């Protein structure tokens, strides 16, 4: 019953800012990555500047076993890495100013591929099928009158004819 009353009281105040509603979730997500101060995530462009914020973003803070001198890991692309590398000391100073003490001892830069193999533009394209297989697929579906069915059968035949078949030893 008390829960119902709290719910009614909360609603009676009117609209609440989204930041207040999401504050606990943001804090929990930040703490799972080592960010004790979520302000570093939410105000990253203000802390390091717009130029660096466009080039890199914080992904993790790792703490040493003795508890002194954490490592801030930044994610950037390969083209932006030299710019961020030159700014590491400046980034460290600004982040420590956000924390209020020398929490960050090192800044580490990581450069994963901008797109993985699961994404469409990963740069991996299979070799085109041999022209004789494409012609063979067209020949197999040539006698079908319905255009949509003919196209579907041609695609199926092309896929079957051009797939890699494992050798008998596999």
- Average the pLDDT over 115-122 and give the result: 46
- Mean pLDDT over all residues of the chain? 75
Which CATH class name applies to 33-113? alpha beta
Q: Cα 57 to the chain's mean position, in Å?
A: 11
Cα separation values, 101 from 36, 69, 87, 98, 144, Å? 13, 11, 19, 8, 76
Highest mean pLDDT among 1-5, 63-67, 159-163: 159-163
SS3 call for 51? helix
pTM to 2 decimal places: 0.48
Looking at per-residue confidence, does 96 or 10 come out higher?
Answer: 96
CATH 3.30.300.20 domain locations along the chain: 33-113
Position 90 scores a pLDDT of: 94
pLDDT band at 123 (very low <50, low <70, confident <90, very high): very low
Cα–Cα distance measured from residue 78 to residue 96, given in angstroms and rounded to the nearest whole number:
26
């Amino acid at each position: 019953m008390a829960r119902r009353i709290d719910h009614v009281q909360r609603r009676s105040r009117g609209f609440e800012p989204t930041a207040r509603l999401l504050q606990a979730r943001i804090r929990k997500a930040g703490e799972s990555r080592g960010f004790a101060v979520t302000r570093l995530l939410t105000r990253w462009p203000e802390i390091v500047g717009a130029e660096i914020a466009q080039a890199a973003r914080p992904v993790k803070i790792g703490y040493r076993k003795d508890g002194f001198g954490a490592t801030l890991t930044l994610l950037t692309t390969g083209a932006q890495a030299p710019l961020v590398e030159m700014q590491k000391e400046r980034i460290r100073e600004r982040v420590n100013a956000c924390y209020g003490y020398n929490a960050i001892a090192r800044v580490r830069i990581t450069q994963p591929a901008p797109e993985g193999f699961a994404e469409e533009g990963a740069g991996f394209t299979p070799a085109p099928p041999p022209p004789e297989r494409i012609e063979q697929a067209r020949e197999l579906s040539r006698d079908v009158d319905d255009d949509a069915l003919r196209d579907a059968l041609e695609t199926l035949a092309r896929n079957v004819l051009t797939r890699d078949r494992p050798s008998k030893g596999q």
